[in-house]
Amino acid sequence: MNQQNFHALLTLGVKKGASDIHLQAGYPPAYRINGNLYSAKMEPFRPEDTQAAVELIMAERGLPPDADEIDCGYSIPGVSRFRANIYRQRGSFGMVMRVIPFELPTLESLNLPHVISRIADAHQGLILVTGATGEGKSTTIAALLNKMNASEHLHIITVEDPIEFLFPPGQAVVSQREVGRDTRSFKHALRSAMRQDPDVLMVGELRDSETAETCLKAAETGHLVISTLHTMDVMRSISRFAGMFPTEEQLLVRGRLADSLRAIVSLRLLPRADGRGLVPACEVLLNSISIAQSIRDPARTSEIPSLLERSADDLGTQTFDQHLLQLCRRGIITAEVAKSHATSPNEIQRALSLDPSEM
């Protein structure tokens, strides 16, 4: 495996529209396209092939060639950037290369609800973008920051592991820091960031209570903080955030979150009915007096979905099931996809059975 062959495999994946490229000993290269994983019609990789590919990435990044697990960025000029996750399995190297286009996404190009554009106008507080791995969290945040960079005179600091999308000079000044390359850890970068005159702080992931505490303090002191959680919906995002802290602190944290939270956007990528890629389904929370009360009181957190439904017309909030119905009625997804991803499949079925367009 030389650099030319390695780049050819990655370039093929980009041309095919793959979101991820899998390289593992014992298998041919595999490309995730529209949510499905397809193997190339090639001979399986040998352990020395994947090791050679890893060594190419490590050499380009100035990293030790014998690391067991590592996340890092990689670029092919004129083709794409990639987020590489390198790991060992059964004594040999494997890697997954996430495709990150050079072109920055826009909120419109991602087919996100219009309300999310309003979220980008916030100037302080905490915004959480949540969802499982590969559901579009990083891309959505990049679109939010892209909008700010194009229109606001701000200092935006990102702390990422690794850096994904690259932001060119715009109206804003954007400082992008990579853990392991520009800073020792999220903890050190966040402490330092508060002395760098930030307006917007983007933290790649809330991984522990210390990171969450620092982000909460930044939001409480007038900064806009954007970060991610690996949670499936709005309600679980709130519980997960509080759950990162010791039990005796969780009620206090809920109160602080209720005061600082501006929005939560939870994402799921679904196959389009026309087979032309994926479309996001979103659950969207915008904070309000009633929402804040439900965040403070764990016994009332279960009321949040009904509050989102009732505020849809006034605030633009929505549950997953509301958005699934909208997408289905517009013919963007099928009824089967809507029901299989719904929180309440029976309610989706009932709503569709009452809709003449779905008869």
Q: Give the CATH number for residue 286.
A: 3.40.50.300
Q: Is residue 133 part of a domain?
A: yes
How many separate domains does the chain show?
2
Q: pLDDT at position 355, please?
A: 67
Question: Do residues 199 and 69 both lie within one domain?
Answer: no
HEC per residue, 181-250: CCECCHHHHHHHHCCCCCCEEEECCCCCHHHHHHHHHHHHCCCEEEEEECCCCHHHHHHHHHHCCCHHHH
Q: Mean pLDDT throughout 77-104?
A: 94
Question: Do residues 236 and 177 both lie within one domain?
Answer: yes
Q: Is residue 338 part of a domain?
A: no
Q: pLDDT at position 1, please?
A: 86
Flag whether pLDDT at 357 surpasses 60.
no
Question: Do residues 26 and 134 both lie within one domain?
Answer: no
Question: Do residues 245 and 274 both lie within one domain?
Answer: yes
Question: Do residues 205 and 89 both lie within one domain?
Answer: no
- Chosen domain end from 75, 100, 125: 100
Q: How do residues 210-263 score in pLDDT, each as one tens digit?
A: 999 999 999 999 999 999 999 999 999 999 999 999 999 999 999 999 999 999
Q: pLDDT at position 359, please?
A: 39
Question: Do residues 91 and 120 both lie within one domain?
Answer: no
Q: Is residue 344 part of a domain?
A: no
Domain with 123, as residue range(s), is: 115-318
Question: Do residues 91 and 127 both lie within one domain?
Answer: no
Question: Do residues 40 and 132 both lie within one domain?
Answer: no
Question: Do residues 63 and 132 both lie within one domain?
Answer: no
Q: Is residue 333 part of a domain?
A: no
Round to whole Å and give the CA distance between 183 and 31: 32
Question: Do residues 145 and 288 both lie within one domain?
Answer: yes
Round to whole Å and give the CA distance between 267 and 307: 19
Mean pLDDT of the chain: 93
Q: Is residue 342 part of a domain?
A: no
Taking a C-beta distance cutoff of 8 angstroms, is the pair 311, 289 a contact?
Answer: no
DSSP state letters, 15-55 = HTT-SEEEEEBTS--EEEETTEEEE-SSPPBPHHHHHHHHH
Q: Give the CATH number for residue 63.
A: 3.30.450.90
Q: pLDDT at position 60, please?
A: 81
Q: pLDDT at position 66, please?
A: 66
Taking a C-beta distance cutoff of 8 angstroms, is the pair 279, 270 a contact?
Answer: yes
Question: Do residues 144 and 66 both lie within one domain?
Answer: no
